[in-house]
Chain A
Amino acid sequence: GQNIDQPTEMTATEGAIVQINCTYQTSGFNGLFWYQQHAGEAPTFLSYNVLDGLEEKGRFSSFLSRSKGYSYLLLKELQMKDSASYLCAVMDSNYQLIWGAGTKLIIKP
């Protein structure tokens, strides 16, 4: 079967750096997405990786290793507003998105 694994919850301190990991097993691969979802709100797009390597966008970076079935989202200079769930999703060979359950990130002062 297809599955996406990511930690259920992580805690970090304001101003620090946190890395949220995502491993996947899917039938085919057409890209990996990261979305941010604040409590009670809809997900919003953060990043898309289809080739191996690191994509940097401001305080957020996303890394992909297709051979390892692995990605991470790196958040730098954490702010309180970064408290949210971070969803990893992989597009399979049928161009369907397979979603992880999300990682709830708690930022402490």
Chain B
Amino acid sequence: EADIYQTPRYLVIGTGKKITLECSQTMGHDKMYWYQQDPGMELHLIHYSYGVNSTEKGDLSSESTVSRIRTEHFPLTLESARPSHTSQYLCASSEGQGDTGELFFGEGSRLTVL
């Protein structure tokens, strides 16, 4: 069973608020990812990291930021939430050996912006 945790699981906030979605893994994985997924749609990569102090932007990164100060922790911050940010956010990690490791996903954070 994967040891990757996300909080909060559910969040309802107002427009303009700053929020941080937390993600932690205890597997010692170097690679971590944030995905956004709407119902019935494909996963879209927001940010990823290949290790401490390494962060890269994905397809949907322009309105959010991430940090990777510790191997196990990869928080995602929305500076000013908008209704268009309403979605499910999935954090994932994989081992650093090669680039073809399977992804282990957290249970997701479902965000609703009013």
Contact = CB atoms under 8 A, between A and B. Distances in A.
Interface of A: 4, 8, 30-31, 33, 35, 41-45, 48, 50, 87, 89, 91, 95-97, 99-102, 104
Interface of B: 40-45, 90, 99-100, 102-108
Contacts, number: 47
7 contacts: A30-B100, A35-B103, A41-B108, A45-B102, A87-B42, A91-B99, A97-B103
Contact of B105 (A33, A42, A48): A42
A31 B102 CA distance: 11
A42 B100 contact: no
A72 B43 CA distance: 19
B99 A95 contact: yes
A48 B40 contact: no
A85 B113 CA distance: 26
Contacts of A100: 42
A75 B2 CA distance: 24
For the complex of A and B, the 10 pairs showing the least CB-CB separation, nearest first, are: A42-B105, A95-B99, A45-B102, A99-B42, A99-B43, A101-B42, A31-B100, A43-B105, A42-B107, A101-B41
B13 to A, nearest CB: 20
A45 B99 contact: no
